[in-house]
Amino acid sequence: MAKKLSCPQCDIHRFFVKNEKEETRLVNVTDQFEIVSVNSEESLEGFNLTMLYCLGCSWKGSPKSLRGGSHPKRY
C-alpha cells in the first residue's frame, strides 16, 4: 500500500479538491503524488487536481508541496 502524504502545516493526510461548481471531493495523495478519492465510487473527473485544501487547517497548495515522499519536511 502506498504511503499517504501529509499537510506541511498540520501533518494530517486528508484533503479535498473542488470543481468549477465549488463541489468538493475528499482525497488522499500517495507518495507518488497520485490523487485518489477517499470514496472509490466517486470520480475525480472535472475536479481541479492542482490545488488541494487541507481538512485540518487553512493550508492550500499543490500536491508537490506536501510532506513525505522524496522532499524534506519543512519546520
Per-residue model confidence as pLDDT tens digits over 5-23 = 999 999 999 999 999 999 9
The pLDDT of residue 71 is 43
Q: What is the CA radius of gyration of the chain?
A: 12
User: Cα(13)–Cα(5) distance, rounded to whole angstroms?
Assistant: 6
User: Cα(58)–Cα(43) distance, rounded to whole angstroms?
Assistant: 25
pTM for this predicted structure: 0.84
Domain boundaries, the chain: 15-62
